[in-house]
Structure 1
């Protein structure tokens, strides 16, 4: 049983990685549903999956420390899982928007940065030394908040995206700038080695 508990942080991390594509698929299906009740049900399910998965970002690390189960694998998987979760939903939003260039461009920056930093972890011999920075943690928190914002706005009663869509797009552009900026310490560390 103790061995099973020690693997629970990595299991939560993997679940978060899988939640991204699953929730994104449900979100797109929600936007295409022909019956409003089905759209609401799928949309709420996608929102619930995102919220629970986002909470596991804190929970897996807390459990790993509590159980003294911190591992190199967990340290590698954790940021990848965050990227799968946020990237999946942002790409779903792009599909729902009809691939609006004003949304697609910042999402390309966000996803591109995340792929590049992940590649650095695998390509460079110093991959194991690329620790998550404070800036990257702030970036991840902002990504989760901004990605969840449409759900929160709709649940608060703002069901007409025309009321908030352009403000949210502005937030996604800000997020793209923060995300791109947060890549610099990783690039610098990789170049040093």
Structure 2
């Protein structure tokens, strides 16, 4: 392998990590649903722990890919586009898994629909501006905070169960309240993207 090809693979690594976040996120969410459907407690525990571990790995990769890209000078427009999409796939997959596990709880489901719907809309707006010379709709600081809040909320049920609070009914709707807060924040953070997207068509 030549030095130039080695350098090429190294510079592609941040984007590969980003793409893997999508794959691992979907897999982890699927394992969580399977854990809820398992009739064997030991199997359910293994699946749930595996799901939690995959989420932690995926969440950490959100820091690693950006740090690595800056460290090796591989920051790119493609990476700037893929990174928020990967975050949305990760968050959306787990939130949808929680909705399925709750059997479409009437309080949780609308909040998740708002979050996922907002993310689909913003992603569509980004993809519609791919021919633009600038980064298509750069991520705002508010949206970064929103993503961090989403990840904390997803991690929280795993942490509560691990600390012994397995009486889900006792804390579930408090957690749902947090999801609604995140949903309202998601809707609010979509406004700058909408303004910028539509201002470009005037």
TM-score by structure 1 length?
A: 0.97
The answer to whether 1:179 aligns with 2:186 is yes
2:15 counterpart of 1:20: no
Separation in structure 2 between the aligned mates of residue 129 and residue 27 of structure 1, nearest angstrom: 33
Query: Structure 1 residue 129: deviation in Å?
Result: 3.7
1:46-65 aligned within 5 A: 46-65=51-70
Is contact 2:80-2:135 (8 Å) kept? no
Which segments of 5 or more consecutive residues in structure 1 lack a partner in the other structure? none
**1:1-193 pair list within 5 angstroms:** 1-124=6-129, 126=132, 128-193=135-200
Q: Distance in 1 between matches of 2:149 and 2:115?
A: 12
Which of the two has higher C-alpha Rg? 2
- Number of residue pairs the alignment of both structures matches: 193
| 3-state secondary structure, aligned to 1:164 | helix
Q: CA deviation at 1:177?
A: 0.4
CA RMSD of aligned residues (A): 1.1
SS class of match (1:41): helix
Query: What are the Cα deviations for residues 82-124 of structure 1, in whole angstroms up to 9, with x where unaligned?
Result: 0110000000000000111111100000000000000001224
